[in-house]
Structure 1
Amino acid sequence: MKEIKVPELAESITEGTIAEWLVKKGDQVEKGDAILELETDKVNVEVNADASGVLAEILKEEGDDVEVGDVIAKVDENGEAGGSSEEEEESTEEQEDTGDKEENTKETAQKEESSDDQEEEPAKETSSDEKVSKNDVVATPAARKRARELGINLSEISAKDPLGRIRPEDVDAAAQGESKKEEKKEAPKKEKKKESKQESSEKTEFEKPVERIKMSRRRQTIAKRLVEAQQSSAMLTTFNEVDMTNVMKLRSDRKESFQKKHDVKLGFMSFFTKAAVGALKEFPNINAEIQGNEIIQKKFYDIGMAVSTDEGLVVPVVRDADRLDFAGIEKGIMDMAKKARDKELQLDDLQGGSFTITNGGIFGSMLSTPILNSPQVGILGLHNIEKRPKVMPDDTIQARPMMYIALSYDHRIVDGKEAVQFLRRIKEMIEDPYDLLLEG
């Protein structure tokens, strides 16, 4: 039998959850064939067979958590698909079970015989002890009467009298000591009862029907990382609003020619990515991270794009966004979003980002405070576009398409002044996109 183990996945991944077995017990597999899909913290990966043969045994089922090096299945290299290996194993197990039953029967009989032989001895011992205690104990008649009333053995009472005679007060003191011992014994039982009542109340706290759903490994990781980000950083959010009139006009004028030339649509994300890169160059602490007592300012601009999938939020990275034109950014975003939805993201697609942009506006969000994508110290949140009244320079009021934007940042290394100026710089570039195109 050849054991199939969970292979080394990546430096940062040591465990996963079996999402789906792609083969069944008894199936013929070839070396290198994908036999199961493993869900990890970041991406789903396929595990391949290490040898050719028949899948003789599956040791881990779908939904089981496994670690690197765990044996998950066995392959019979000499077996044939649909062979009699299962029947042989079953017959062997039956023989072992019958043998075990016979041995257990013999052992039980021996134990019963030995227990019958020893039943009379304890009775004899207790009777002799009672005689000794009654004859040897020195006590006053009142003490003996009191002991009978309280059900206390006189031989277990220590006398305070110098002559060793037990008096009624000695009996009362012994009775109080016994009651305290009983209370101590009953206390743990009461606590256990309380705990069991609490547990039962927790399980039955819902009087109406509910459904309990186990969190996927990815959802657990997302929850853990979000909590860690809030606990390990001094997170603060600042806001501004952007007049989207000029961007929308430019996009409307150029979208057809842009799509014909580059085979990709011109969206808003490329404008904000370009604006973010320009602002990051002016405020390098927002494109940084903290390592111990040092600030690591990154001289590259790998921008993470938050993408929502059925299994949760993932943040694939568009590499070297400062070197890409608008078409390059749009293609990068489109490719990453497709890979995320098709579950084709690789670990390299998710690692190494320096700053993140999340667009809640596509779901209709008007305002939010995005949570940092640790160890990054800044994340830009975009929201939906709505027409709102705006006072123009000539004091007229016009209905303009407005968007709220938010910057969450780590206040440990980013001051409020930097954060506000960063967001205002993005606002200026978006409201004057022609300069942004020239600089890009």
Structure 2
Amino acid sequence: MATVVVMPQLGNSVESCLIVSWLVAVGDAVAENAIVCEVETDKASMEVPSTAAGTVLALLWDEGDDVPVKEPLLVVGAAGEDPKAALAEIGWSGAGDDGSARSTEEPAAVDDEPSAPAADDAPRTAATGASSPRARALAQANSLDIASVSEGSGPGGRVIERDVRAALSNSTAAAARAGAHGSDAAGTGIGGRITTGDLAAPTEPAAEATPATAAASGREYPGPSTATPLKGVRKVIAERMMHSLASSAQLTYTTTARAAGLLALRAKLKGSPEELGLNGVTIGDLVGFAAIKTAAKHTNHNAHLADGTLTTFENVHLGMAVDTPRGLLVPTVRNANQMSLREFSATSKELAFAAIDGRIDPDLLAGATFTVSNLGGFGIESFTPLLNVPQVAILGVDAIFPRAVIHDDGTVGAEQRIGFSLTADHRVIDGADAARFLQDLVKYVENIDITVLG
């Protein structure tokens, strides 16, 4: 009998996954554990394996659909087998009004071609709550009333992310049209507002363009280009960064610290006995350890701000920005303030490698209370890190670089210094608070040999 493959639970905190792309089609033969599709959560992009071997009999969702975990995803069985029996056995016939599976005695027919679940419901609007979590988040980040999206393109008319993007695009076009017609331009909506119908209305013919001087070289303009739609983790990153800026009051403060102690301790640890497990400790580990100590002291920086409530944490769960082949991921070192330097160094490296290899547990990509982003290895001397909301602070670690210094005796010399860029949410962290955080961080860094003993 055919087997129904369901959307796996990719982490305890994951409720649904968006299908980025199907890697199989109806009629394809698949082996057990073969990858059938790529999906994304609000944190990462992953691959879904088949739990059975056989021929793909039906794909139950389209690319772009937001599928609840443990819901039927596709049907695999013997070539030519009818998938309806397997679906009937589990009582599944498509997506319900809330986007979840609904049970009926008569399962919907499944075509031989890839299709979304049968949409036998009447068209629904966002006002009924038939919208995906990603659609609602995008609408909220752009101050769009999701109820204004009259009909979605998801299963059964569910409003999904691409419908919100289309609505936002129409709003932008309407604003552009209004600007082109001048401030007195009126639409057909209430109070003369520009509506989407007005966008299709013919406009006055544009004035005849003045002939432009031909390029002397005759080179093609604009020349070769490549258009690549955002998808997967890159798409998630884009949305999260826009949401971060739109939902918080971010301000960045910069300072530097003498790096001689860091460099000396790093050299000493590198040459330490291997059995101590400290010769792999990096400058980044030392700075991260100092940042943990600072965040534990300044709990207003080790906090979340959500729905008007500030939650401060006693333990520091450190987020680490990691550059991966799929884009930026932020694994969390849980209870980092309770770790020794050796344990912190080993744990952070293990998480970073797991993120780079694409095998990290999605639950470890959430829950951070304070984040560190280190671009010092790229030679960056200063940058503005963006908050990982609902966190209220993030520390950017800059490069170590030589700077001129005037000694107490009046002579001029040079010293190695490391830069820091602290971005804080000004709604809850004042400038003086941020300055005090950086003062303590500088103290811990410049005395790092003592800091690691604590």
Indicate how the Cα distance of structure 1 residues 253 and 76 shifts in structure 2: closer, same or farther if over 3 A, else same: closer
1:194, distance to aligned residue in structure 2 (A): 4.5
1:192, distance to aligned residue in structure 2 (A): 3.8
Match of 2:224, as an amino acid?
P
Aligned to 1:65: 64
Assess if the C-alpha contact under 8 Å between 2:57 and 2:79 holds in 1. no
Q: Deviations over 1:109-136 (max 9, x none)?
A: xxxxxxxxxxxxxxxxxxxxxxxxxxxx
Aligned to 2:7: 6
d(CA) in 2 for partners of 1:38 and 1:234?
Answer: 32
d(CA) in 2 for partners of 1:255 and 1:323?
Answer: 23
- Identify the match of residue 298 of structure 2 among 280, 283, 303: 283
d(CA) in 2 for partners of 1:355 and 1:227?
Answer: 19
1:319, distance to aligned residue in structure 2 (A): 1.5
1:303 aligns to 2:302 (yes or no) = no
Paired residue secondary structure (2:388): coil
Aligned to 1:373: 388
Which segment drifts farther, 16-25 or 430-439? Answer: 16-25
Aligned to 2:235: 220
1:419 aligns to 2:421 (yes or no) = no
Assess if the C-alpha contact under 8 Å between 1:287 and 1:376 holds in 2. yes
d(CA) in 1 for partners of 2:354 and 2:199?
Answer: 57
d(CA) in 2 for partners of 1:189 and 1:35?
Answer: 44
TM-score normalised by L of structure 2: 0.64
Aligned to 1:38: 39
Indicate how the Cα distance of structure 1 residues 48 and 251 shifts in structure 2: closer, same or farther if over 3 A, else same: closer
- Identify the match of residue 369 of structure 2 among 354, 373, 378: 354
Match of 2:236, as an amino acid?
T
- After TM superposition, list the pairs within 5 Å mapping 1:226-245 onto structure 2: 226-245=241-260
- Identify the match of residue 251 of structure 1 among 266, 269, 285: 266
Indicate how the Cα distance of structure 1 residues 217 and 18 shifts in structure 2: closer, same or farther if over 3 A, else same: closer
1:309, distance to aligned residue in structure 2 (A): 1.4
Match of 1:65, as an amino acid?
G
Aligned to 2:48: 47
Assess if the C-alpha contact under 8 Å between 2:322 and 2:352 holds in 1. yes
Match of 1:21, as an amino acid?
L
1:330 aligns to 2:345 (yes or no) = yes
1:72, distance to aligned residue in structure 2 (A): 4.6
1:293, distance to aligned residue in structure 2 (A): 3.7
- After TM superposition, list the pairs within 5 Å mapping 1:95-114 onto structure 2: none
1:247, distance to aligned residue in structure 2 (A): 1.4
1:262, distance to aligned residue in structure 2 (A): 0.9
1:419, distance to aligned residue in structure 2 (A): 0.6
Match of 2:441, as an amino acid?
I
Aligned to 1:15: 17
Match of 1:25, as an amino acid?
G
- Identify the match of residue 396 of structure 1 among 411, 420, 433: 411
d(CA) in 2 for partners of 1:330 and 1:321?
Answer: 10
1:350, distance to aligned residue in structure 2 (A): 0.7
d(CA) in 2 for partners of 1:36 and 1:189?
Answer: 40
TM-score normalised by L of structure 1: 0.66
Assess if the C-alpha contact under 8 Å between 2:273 and 2:279 holds in 1. yes
Indicate how the Cα distance of structure 1 residues 436 and 67 shifts in structure 2: closer, same or farther if over 3 A, else same: same
Aligned to 2:77: 76
Assess if the C-alpha contact under 8 Å between 1:270 and 1:330 holds in 2. yes
Assess if the C-alpha contact under 8 Å between 2:39 and 2:232 holds in 1. no
d(CA) in 2 for partners of 1:7 and 1:74?
Answer: 14
Match of 2:242, as an amino acid?
V
Q: Deviations over 1:322-376 (max 9, x none)?
A: 1211111111121112111111111121111110000111112111111111111
Indicate how the Cα distance of structure 1 residues 227 and 333 shifts in structure 2: closer, same or farther if over 3 A, else same: same
Assess if the C-alpha contact under 8 Å between 1:230 and 1:371 holds in 2. yes
Which is richer in helix?
1
How much is the aligned-residue C-alpha RMSD, in angstroms? 3.2
1:307, distance to aligned residue in structure 2 (A): 0.6
Higher radius of gyration, 1 or 2: 1
Give the percent of matched residue pairs that are identical in Structure 1 and Structure 2.
27
Q: Which runs of 5+ in 2 are unaligned?
A: 82-110, 113-196, 207-220
Indicate how the Cα distance of structure 1 residues 192 and 248 shifts in structure 2: closer, same or farther if over 3 A, else same: same
Aligned to 2:123: none
d(CA) in 2 for partners of 1:58 and 1:189?
Answer: 39
1:383 aligns to 2:398 (yes or no) = yes
Indicate how the Cα distance of structure 1 residues 7 and 438 shifts in structure 2: closer, same or farther if over 3 A, else same: closer
Assess if the C-alpha contact under 8 Å between 1:14 and 1:67 holds in 2. yes
Indicate how the Cα distance of structure 1 residues 341 and 26 shifts in structure 2: closer, same or farther if over 3 A, else same: same
Q: Deviations over 1:135-180 (max 9, x none)?
A: xxxxxxxxxxxxxxxxxxxxxxxxxxxxxxxxxxxxxxxxxxxxxx
Match of 2:29, as an amino acid?
D
d(CA) in 1 for partners of 2:198 and 2:310?
Answer: 56
Assess if the C-alpha contact under 8 Å between 1:380 and 1:407 holds in 2. yes
d(CA) in 2 for partners of 1:386 and 1:24?
Answer: 58
Paired residue secondary structure (1:375): coil
Assess if the C-alpha contact under 8 Å between 1:41 and 1:217 holds in 2. no
Q: Which runs of 5+ in 1 are unaligned?
A: 81-91, 94-187, 198-205
1:44, distance to aligned residue in structure 2 (A): 3.5
1:299, distance to aligned residue in structure 2 (A): 1.0
Assess if the C-alpha contact under 8 Å between 2:270 and 2:278 holds in 1. no
d(CA) in 2 for partners of 1:322 and 1:332?
Answer: 12
Match of 1:221, as an amino acid?
V
Aligned to 2:126: none
Match of 1:56, as an amino acid?
L
Assess if the C-alpha contact under 8 Å between 1:264 and 1:331 holds in 2. no
Assess if the C-alpha contact under 8 Å between 2:27 and 2:79 holds in 1. no
Assess if the C-alpha contact under 8 Å between 2:296 and 2:316 holds in 1. no
Aligned to 1:126: none
Q: Deviations over 1:257-278 (max 9, x none)?
A: 1555317512112222222222
Indicate how the Cα distance of structure 1 residues 348 and 65 shifts in structure 2: closer, same or farther if over 3 A, else same: same
1:36, distance to aligned residue in structure 2 (A): 3.6
- After TM superposition, list the pairs within 5 Å mapping 1:89-238 onto structure 2: 192-194=201-203, 207-238=222-253
Indicate how the Cα distance of structure 1 residues 5 and 253 shifts in structure 2: closer, same or farther if over 3 A, else same: closer
Assess if the C-alpha contact under 8 Å between 1:18 and 1:38 holds in 2. yes
